[in-house]
Amino acid sequence: MAKLSLKQKSWLVSAHIAFAALWTGAVLSMFLLSLRNTASDKGDALYALNSAINLLDDYIVIPAAIGSVLTATALCWGTNYGFTKFYWVITKWILTTGLVVFGTFWLFPWGNGAEQIASVEGLQAMTNPTYAFKAKGVLVGTLVQAICLLIIVGISVLKPWGRRAPGMPPQKNALG
């Protein structure tokens, strides 16, 4: 792929920042709703909070995470950043991949499960150990995600750790 022009890079960076901001803001909102969820005193409110958490996840977090990964990939491919030239880029990839995996296989199912239990049991869900586990998972999981996303933002701005040392030339083996 040819390198991006300065204008193309600027647009792509802008899109990347917008997706990251949406992702971070939605996760922070999910955390606050989860925190409020712990003090619900009405069944309808409990269900509404769980439903709102899932709406944020389905319609903002997931598309924003996908957009963030796609724009990051295009930036790495179309600029001098590359995928492995800088420690800060590698670190962002590792953290982002971890967030996507955690969100997909744990946080998303916990949120859906909590909503389903609250829709059936109402306020009685607060005494259900399965609901308590899933709701606590969403609360702690969104807090961890928010902290990681803020760390990623900090890494993006500060670009610590610099460039990786160029690789050593390939060694010839005894046969050749």
Contact between 142 and 27 (Cβ < 8 Å): yes
The CA distance from 139 to 40, in Å, is 14
Is 169 a residue whose pLDDT tops 80? no
The CA distance from 10 to 5, in Å, is 9
Q: What is the pLDDT of residues 2-31, one digit of tens each?
A: 799 999 999 999 999 999 999 999 999 999
The CA distance from 12 to 4, in Å, is 9
- Show me where the domains of the chain are located: 6-158
CB neighbour burial string for 49-78, b if at least 16 within 10 angstroms, e if fewer: bbbbbbbbbeebbbebbebbbebbebbbeb
Q: What is the pLDDT of residues 118-150, one digit of tens each?
A: 999 999 999 999 999 999 999 999 999 999 999
So what's the pLDDT on residue 138? 98
Stated pTM of the model = 0.89
Four-residue CA torsion sign, 29, 32, 36, 37: positive
CATH (residue range 6-158): 1.20.120
Q: Element (H or E) spanning 76, and its range? A: helix 62-78
